[in-house]
Amino acid sequence: MTTQAIQLTHTDTLQAHATALLRLSLGVMTLAHGLLKVFVFTVPGTVGYFESLGLPGFIAYLTIFAEIGGGLALLFGVYTRWVSLALIPVLLGAAWVHLGNGWVFSNEGGGWEFPVFWAIALLVQAGLGSGSLTLSHRFA
């Protein structure tokens, strides 16, 4: 084996682990936000908030399902590309909600920079795939 082949193998391994780290981070954040809507804000509270924004209440249920299901799928590395793409509209919706609060997410009511960054990170994840540490490479 040549030095170049060894270096490529090492680089490929590092890239696979870095990709997995991004996927796991996105999975934890997505799952946490879904569970926040269930256990802290409560489902009826989340539905009421969505309705106060002028959105139909059922969108809250879809969002909770997307965040919990999508977060788990990302954690396990299941259909990572498709799940990442499917979560982007959820984050763009969050950015829309926070648009009037300014750019910085630490502003009162939260700004839009964090959800937009998160949506871009999901787009990057969709391009990279699952990386290492998946439940099954068959469903990655």
User: pLDDT tens-digit profile of 15-28?
Assistant: 999 999 999 999 99
Question: Which of 125, 91, 115 lies closest to 18, judged by CA?
Answer: 125
The overall pTM is greater than 0.85: yes
Eight-class DSSP state of 99: G
Q: Which of 125, 132, 115, 25 is nearest to 83 (CA)?
A: 125
CA distance linking residue 113 with residue 7, whole number of Å: 37
The average confidence (pLDDT) of the chain is: 93
- pLDDT at res. 37: 98
Return all residues near 85 (Cβ < 8 A) that are at least 6 apart: 122, 123, 126
Burial of 7 (0-12, 13-18, 19+ CB in 10 A): exposed
Q: Which residues of 12-47 are buried (b: 16+ CB within 10 A; e: fewer)?
A: eeeebeebbebbbebbebbbebbeebeeeeeeeebb
Predicted pLDDT of residue 3: 56
Q: What whole-number distance in Å separates Cα of residue 93 and Cα of residue 115?
A: 9
- Looking at the predicted structure, is the pLDDT value of residue 96 above 90? yes
pLDDT band at 5 (very low <50, low <70, confident <90, very high): low
Q: Residue 11: its pLDDT value, please? A: 83
Give me the pLDDT at residue 9, please: 81
